[in-house]
Chain A
Amino acid sequence: MAIGAVAAQFVFISAAAVFAAQGQREVPDFKTEQGRAHYQRGLKYGDRGLWAPAILELNRANSLEPGNAGILMELGIVHGERKEWKQAIASLRKAAAIAPSSAQAHYNLALTLDRADPGKGAGTAEYWKALRLDPRYVQALINLAIDVGDHDAAESRRLLNRALQLDARNAQAHLNLALLLKREAQVGASIPEFRRAIELDPDLLEARRQLAELLSSEQQWDQIIEQCQEILKREPDDAGARYTLGQALIRSGKMEDGRKEFDRAQALRQRAQQLQQAQKFQADGIRELKAGKVAEAVKAFTAAVELDRSSANHMYLGIGLAASEDVKSGIRELTTALELEPSNAQAHVNLGSLYLQAGQDYLGKAEFEKALQSNPWLPEAHNNLGLVLSKANQPDQALEHFRLAADLNPQYLEAVFNLGLCERALGRLEDALSAFRRAAELAPNNARVQYALGLTLKDKGDTAGGQAAINRAARLERQSK
């Protein structure tokens, strides 16, 4: 998989500079066939944008071959795609340390540093390392040019020209050079660069936007209209392009057409603002819910639904209502969420959970299965289905789901704990112990975890260790009361 192109707001160009994405992939060496198989499955998922299973497979590959820089690099990239910057940078740093002569490892680390902390040139040093190893690394030249451009326009220009010497057909290099020229008020020189970027990559919308802006000072209304229409073909909801189109149409004497575009631009902007506000209410509601302020959460979720009747907002309102012990209304909202978006796996999980709470396990099971049909890598669906299966005395099947849930999200305490319980129920004490230890690491002050750990240690013959854990559990229980 490759790191996607990033449209980062970049100060020196005062427009969206476009970082170059990853280039050719270096295929790592493997010590085990299993490791290779997991790695390749991880890449396949990643190429399809399925980040959860990609991480699952790459983690499995990594656990088999912990010193493999190639696996770590891909793992870092996938975490980066999920904006899990801490994990991404940690993996990529480790990869670069294991393979210091890999230009690509340094490049990916640099790009991820830039993305994690945009506008500060955070990747500069690593780009330089990549270029020392491979002076013909075009993407590194382009991105380094962006990073240094804020401080040193001449150096930035030199780097971009070098990139174009190596690859004259690189649209991103032309675009960034055009932006640099525009920033230096060299309008005449920047226009052909924007045009060339568009010619090489007609989907480079930033180049079209910039070109339209420059053409306005030259009163090239027909060309502005053309650029705006091309943008709108690709992004019909671009309010800015509609507004510019409106201005250009009016200038061309097409008053009514221009007026319509202004109206559309306003409607789009207002809708975008509404959605943004709804998202804010949703985030507020989640925060309140986590803080135990259920009434406030319901209020925020209701406001979100009023602004945006999306499946997600109905789902959160359902969760909030259920938390306020209005399960009936909760089920109604979750049903609405699923009517709006039948493939909303999270809504299926939440609806299933409500059925489970209400003792309607068979309905719950059906919902968890539907969730997994929509998203086979949803940890909560696996965990909850595991619970239903456990209750139905199907521990073997339950175990698979708990294990998958815990692998998909290693931080998922409930899944790890349930996995331990299930292993213990099946008499696999060693595996149970391992799961409970993982759970205890995740939640050292959880009395239930300590208690289960204690019992299992005792079962394994470690009476003193077991008793100590049980004592800890008792103490924690008392403290919580």
Chain B
Amino acid sequence: MTRGWNLYRPILGSLLVLAAVFAEFHLIASEEARSSIRFRDAGAPAGLNGITICGKQRKTSVIEVNGSGVCWLDYNNDGLLDLYVMNGGTLEDLTVQRSGGLSSHHNYLYRNNGDGTFTDVTEKAGVGAFRWGTGCAAADYDNDGLTDLFLSNIGESNLFRNKGDGTFTDVAKSAGVSGGFQWHTGAAFADYDGDGYLDLYVAAYLDLPQMFQTQKQCPWQGMQVFCGPGGLKGAPDRLYHNNGDGTFRDVTRQAGMEDHDLLYGLTATWEDFDNDARPDLFVANDRGRNYLYHNLGKGKFEETGETWGAAYPIEAKAQANMGIAVGDYDHSGTMDLFVTTFSQDHFTLYHNTGKRLFFDVSGETGIASATHPFLGWGAFFADLDNDGWLDLFTSNGHVYPEAEKAKGAMEKYVQRPLVFRQSTPGVFTEVGRQSGLAGLPVFSSRGAAYADFDNDGDIDLVYTNMDASPSLLENISSPQHWVTIRTLGTRSNRDGIGARLKLTAGDLVQYASVRSGESYLSGNDPRVHFGLGRKSSIDALEIRWPSGQVDRLDSVPFDRFVTVEEDKGITQVLEPRKPLVK
């Protein structure tokens, strides 16, 4: 291990070269889609039986359509990723909640049994919440070695502190993050000021009181549907600073993050987009420009979405962005951005030049044309076939149950997920049907998150469905080499959230970060997974911790789960479990 931070390879030493490469890839993209990615439906045998709802099946208000998220976390520190599933409610529930009561619906915590099954431990753990749940973010906010859970709700939020005995206690009010009776959406943790404690950003969607008034109808493709969010008043997002004593302080204004335009925030994600070792924040807004808050240091931010080119796609039209995926898909050392959006529009991939400038590459990467008919929510980059290149997943579903009845309709309420394999660097080919998803039941899906839940060395995934139980897909792709890194901070926050990892295996150089809160109102596996393809050795692993500490490890095993502790190096190596299905 050596100290000192080696700067990542300068981003896009030559933009022109990159552009030329894209042009070449464009031709290759027309090849018939082949997929080395395979999934199987593991939901029913796994026992994830809880139905998630969002209002009634016939939608009369915008409040009934956005659905909810899902988070992976190891709440009992047994090395297996457990699953927390948010659940919505009904308008009647909300009226009860408004007067201080509890919803008749609850969220679900599923303990991973390690054999492909899960046990519902919601009641035992005390995390049902009984509020109209939207998003979740899992992190050890008090650095006690136990993963806690922040839940954003329509209504007051919950902060469930993990007591370490399999139970949680809600401390949102005393911690100062309950947020009042608001429509909270995406939450994300990061230590933006480098003090070793995780701070929290909570996005908000619509001003809630107006939702109790009579909802108007609006025309859509010749039909009358509920109105919104356009024309309705938005709600302000909030930044909470972690005081380090179990409490938080609302610092939105001091930080320069006041949501003046009250845009309809859905998902927020922290990431160091300009490689200045400070986490910036990206917020996907529905029907408005996206925010990109550049972290200026000293607790101050500047909103740079437009000036960095990530507020809108190239056609400069505000999209209805829902979910966010972050990843360095081209191995350039800078984190790129992907957002899902409404149908009859394209999902957008913003390429990060590393010079505080993004540009829209949705067209040439094959994403725009494939996504036009889909209404996307959850999204993530993950190396689904362990070939060393990030692939992309989106969960989809329309907001209008009657969508297919519209005259000339090209969209359906239920929509299949999309799996984009990065078939050639810089080109994404949609291979969902060839990846084992063709025969699966189709839902109107919302939040999505990945995790290697069976610890067999590949990325599995889960997504929530409207009025159905979640779908759990087990990855059964042909094995290739991989490594999964768990970061444990010492000077930094305990989870190592915000750590940037650079892994070198021969000519394969990959970059990844530890994050909490992304996709759509969801949280992925907190561990960092690298596919290695046929590389059977790892030359180096560099970790830049949020504290500024840089650890360089040169003997990292592959095909293993490796725990790295800040300033101590590798402290644990675990072998994978046997795959559940060959």
Binding site for B on A (CB under 8 A): 11-12, 14, 119-120, 150-153, 183, 185, 209, 212-213, 216-219, 224, 239-241, 243-244, 246-248, 250-251, 253, 255, 258-259, 262-263, 265-266, 269, 273
Contact = CB atoms under 8 A, between A and B. Distances in A.
Given A259-B307, A265-B306, A151 B222 contact: yes
B359 A244 contact: no
B15 A247 contact: no
Ranked nearest first, the 3 interchain pairs of A and B with the lowest CB-CB distance are A217-B363, A240-B316, A213-B315
| A-side interface mostly | helix
A216 to B, nearest CB: 4
B344 A243 contact: no
Contacts of B289: 269
Contact of B357 (A153, A240, A258): A258
A153 B344 CA distance: 15
B191 to A, nearest CB: 29
B222 A150 contact: yes
Contacts of B360: 216, 247
Central interface residue in A119, A152, A217, A269, by most chain B CB within 10 Å: A217
Contacts of B15: 250, 253, 255
Given A11-B221, A119-B219, A243 B357 contact: no
Central interface residue in B289, B316, B359, B362, by most chain A CB within 10 Å: B316
A262 B307 contact: yes
A460 to B, nearest CB: 54
Contacts of A250: 15, 309, 353, 357, 359
B407 interface: yes
Interface of B: 15-16, 19, 22-23, 26, 219-222, 261, 289, 306-309, 311-312, 314-317, 344, 353, 355, 357, 359-360, 362-364, 368-369, 372, 407-408
B219 A243 contact: no
Given A119-B219, A152-B407, A253-B15, A247 B307 contact: no
A212 to B, nearest CB: 7
Contact of B314 (A11, A12, A244, A253): A244
A266 B306 contact: yes
A247 B408 contact: no
Contacts of A240: 312, 315-317
Central interface residue in B26, B308, B315, B353, by most chain A CB within 10 Å: B315
B350 to A, nearest CB: 10
Nearest to A210: B315
Contacts of A246: 309
A247 B309 contact: yes
A218 B16 CA distance: 17
B347 to A, nearest CB: 13
B315 A120 contact: no
A244 B307 contact: no
Contacts of A263: 307
Given A247-B360, A251-B359, A153 B408 contact: yes
Contacts of A151: 222, 407-408
Nearest to A149: B408
A253 B363 CA distance: 18
B316 A241 contact: yes
A247 B359 contact: yes
A14 B344 contact: yes
Nearest to A247: B314
A119 B218 CA distance: 11
B74 to A, nearest CB: 41
A213 B314 contact: yes
A114 to B, nearest CB: 14
A259 B357 contact: yes
Contacts of B368: 217
A216 B26 CA distance: 13
Contacts of A218: 363
Contact of A243 (B221, B261, B316, B407): B316
A213 B360 CA distance: 12
Given A151-B407, A151-B408, A273-B261, A212 B353 contact: no
A269 to B, nearest CB: 7
Contact of B309 (A217, A219, A262): A262
Contacts of A255: 15, 353, 355, 357
A9 to B, nearest CB: 11
Nearest to B307: A262
A219 B364 contact: yes
B219 A11 contact: yes
A247 to B, nearest CB: 4
Contacts of B372: 185
B378 to A, nearest CB: 24
B359 A219 contact: no
A156 B531 CA distance: 51
A244 to B, nearest CB: 5
A244 B407 contact: no
